Amino acid sequence: MVVVPLRSKKSRAAVGVPVIDLSLERSKLCESITKACQEFGFFQVENHGISSDIISRVEMEGLDFFSKPACHKQRAGPPSPFGYGCKNIGFNGDKGDLEYLLMEANPHSIAERSKSISTDPTKFSCAVNDYTEAVRKLACEILEMVAEGLWVPDKSIFSDLIKDVNSDSCFRINHYPPSLNDHISIDDDNNNWINNNIDNNPKPGQLFDNINNNHSTTKTRIGFGEHSDPQILTILRSNNVGGLQILSRDGLWIPIPPDSDKFCVFVGDAFQAMTNGRFVSVRHRAMANSVKPRTSMMYFAAPPLNACITPIPQLVSIENPCMYRPFTWGEFKTTAYSLRLADHRLDLFKKQHIV
């Protein structure tokens, strides 16, 4: 495992975000992946084995779609939650400086959805299917190594959930248009300008220096606001344009160096519940302050709607009592979609939570 040192002005401490080389020996991988999930809820992987052809085909399809006139793109929207969306995120008033395509990650729905997205639906759906299938396999390998790293006897306890034909996994392509400092690119409503100079907690309408987490006159625009992903695991790949940041346990935003050859892996809320809080879903956001367009593709690995999410017995003990009540993925998803992006949804499922 290579640790990328990043210096934060506030703490003056080097923060190491793990980069894990998947070509290393398996027992080492199990250990370092599990450690990264515990300490950061996040890591990057290199030498992942997914071919550049599979990646570039879907990337080109995304770029081709986003380059089309708005009236063409709107034929694939509004998101329900699936389809084409622009600036509106979810159903509860969240906004971001981006446009996106969100779809269910199964071949049948991808084929149907492709008809409203592309003039060559077969080419589009083949590209998306090949990519989601490759990334699903990668997610399964990671989940199996995590089970091994946690010394859980059933190595496929997590991966079986996303291998299931009824898995509710989804796929998203985000496109952040370039936005120059001191220039608000779309909808001059100031909704997404932020400032972290007081408490490192972004608030609409304030300014923020996103590199140093401190007072500055540099304007930065939020592309996709702070949140954790509700699913088990997210696999993200971006172009070489920066913007992604993760929130460290000591409350600092850490910029993740963009690298189109690596994947970023995020622990989601459902994984936090299944590991009884041993792993914590990582809060993250994407800034849209680059002069270059940023594109990212996320595979959100989720269980079937009727799957029961409950801490695995191996991680529950007298010292670590069960933190969450059992819930189905469907129940959690309904709750997630009734809330705002930045809400801490999993807290509602804590055992001591009083409604």
d(CA 78, CA 88): 9
> CB under 5 to 8 A by kind: which of Fe ion, ligand L4NPZUNZ, ligand AKG, none does 339 bind?
ligand L4NPZUNZ
Edge-to-edge order in the sheet of strand 284-287: 222-227, 284-287, 244-247, 253-255
Options 32-40, 154-162, 227-235, 238-246: segment touching Fe ion (CB under 5 A) = 227-235
> CB under 5 to 8 A by kind: which of ligand AKG, ligand L4NPZUNZ, Fe ion, none does 142 bind?
none
> CB under 5 to 8 A by kind: which of ligand AKG, ligand L4NPZUNZ, Fe ion, none does 81 bind?
ligand L4NPZUNZ
Residues from 146 through 185 that contact ligand AKG (CB under 6 A): 172, 174
Q: Does 253 bind ligand L4NPZUNZ (CB under 6 A)?
A: no
d(CA 252, CA 289): 19
Mention every residue, 6+ apart, whose C-beta is less than 8 A from residue 105: 132, 136, 167, 169, 170, 171, 299, 300
- Minimal CA–CA distance to 228: which of 269, 275, 272? 269
Site string for ligand L4NPZUNZ, 215-234 (x = CB under 6 A): ------------x-xx----
d(CA 40, CA 254): 11
Residue 294 designated active-site: yes
Q: Which of 294, 325, 340, 345 is catalytic?
A: 294
The secondary structure element, H or E, covering residue 29 is helix 26-39
Q: Which of 229, 231, 243, 346 binds Fe ion (CB under 5 A)?
A: 229
Options 38-46, 68-76, 124-132, 236-244: segment touching ligand AKG (CB under 6 A) = 236-244
- Minimal CA–CA distance to 249: which of 1, 34, 30, 17? 17
Closest residue to ligand AKG using C-beta atoms? 296
d(CA 53, CA 127): 10
d(CA 286, CA 296): 10
- Whose Cβ is closer to ligand AKG: residue 142's or residue 298's? 298
Residues from 167 through 206 that contact Fe ion (CB under 5 A): none
Amino acid (1-letter code) at residue 346? L
d(CA 265, CA 146): 12
The residues annotated with a catalytic role in the active site are 294
Per CB under 6 A, residues contacting ligand L4NPZUNZ are 81, 89-90, 92, 94, 102, 170, 172, 227, 229-230, 300, 336-337, 339-341
Per CB under 5 A, residues contacting Fe ion are 229
Per CB under 6 A, residues contacting ligand AKG are 172, 174, 224, 229, 236, 238, 244, 284, 286, 296, 298
